[in-house]
Amino acid sequence: MGKIITMSAGMIKEILRKQGKMEKVPANEVIADWASRLVCLLYPELSNCQLDTEEKIEAAFNKMRVELCGMLNATKACSDCNNEGISATFFQKVPELYRLLNTDIEAILTGDPAAKSEFEVVRAYPGFYALCFYRIAHMLVKLQVPLLPRILTEHAHSKTGIDIHPGAEIGEYFMIDHGTGVVIGETTHIGNRVKIYQGVTLGALSVDKGMASLKRHPTIEDDVILYSNATILGGETVVGHHSIIGGNVWLTNSVPAGSLVFHNPEITVLEGKTLNYT
């Protein structure tokens, strides 16, 4: 038997103090499971559970509304909120959530030659999965729900590598292709029909707690394409509509509509200089 490790009395007391002050919030797994089931209800392609009558579907939505209210009631930061009203309002907005997600599916189908069907997009595309959780979380942010929105988007981040802050404003027909390493900051504004690739960062020029209430992240107008590993920083930075930002670009200044911005590395090709392995 290994040697018993004895913690110091001071450390034990500190942990006990923190246990007593811990803010009550449902487990992350409970919150993420609720959102996953909501997405599955909207898109049965994700689930083996099929509902075969309108009454069953309506009952499932009502059950999820009650569950949302229960999670809010169990969250200390929501103890003084009208949780019944918030839950009811959220589900009144679910048709708009569904409409927005359908535009995202259409954007992927039309924008990715490899996408063969809506079923494939819903079941297999990490960008769509991340957007499902972001759009649910963003609706909760609009209803001033604390904590839960960030937990939801961090769950999607852990599953997909796509980090979207729930406070970001994202328009319709949004497409994330591949997606790994994408970062979209809290005060980012993204217009309609925007397409971004893996590794894109929409971030802040500096990190300062005093800037918490300011716009720190860029604005991306309609019909913009951001290619892989582009980094666009700053709350005053605006990428004008119908612009293309090439791969590996570092951008901290605004560019007008219809711009083509690209990184121009020097690459040398020497013909006939292959290695001799014999």
Q: What is the pLDDT of residues 73-90, one digit of tens each?
A: 999 999 889 999 999 999
Looking at the domain 23-161, which fold is it?
A: serine acetyltransferase, domain 1 (1.10.3130)
> Which residues in the chain are classed under CATH 1.10.3130.10?
23-161
C-alpha pair distances (Å), 53 with each of 34, 49, 60, 137: 21, 13, 11, 28
Give start and end residues of each alpha helix (H) in the chain. Answer: 9-21, 28-42, 54-73, 83-92, 94-111, 118-124, 126-142, 148-160
Reported as a single tens digit per residue, the pLDDT across 145-195 is: 999 999 999 999 999 999 999 999 999 999 999 999 999 999 999 999 999
Looking at the domain 181-269, which fold is it?
A: UDP N-Acetylglucosamine Acyltransferase; domain 1 (2.160.10)
Instruction: Report which of residues 210 and 255 the model is more confident about.
Output: 255
Contact 218, 202 (CB under 8 A): yes
> Which residues in the chain are classed under CATH 2.160.10.10?
181-269
Give the full edge-to-edge strand order of the sheet including 231-233. 163-164, 183-184, 201-203, 231-233, 250-251
Q: What pTM did the predictor assign? A: 0.89
pLDDT above 90 for 22: no
Q: Which two tokens stand for residue 274?
A: 């292959």
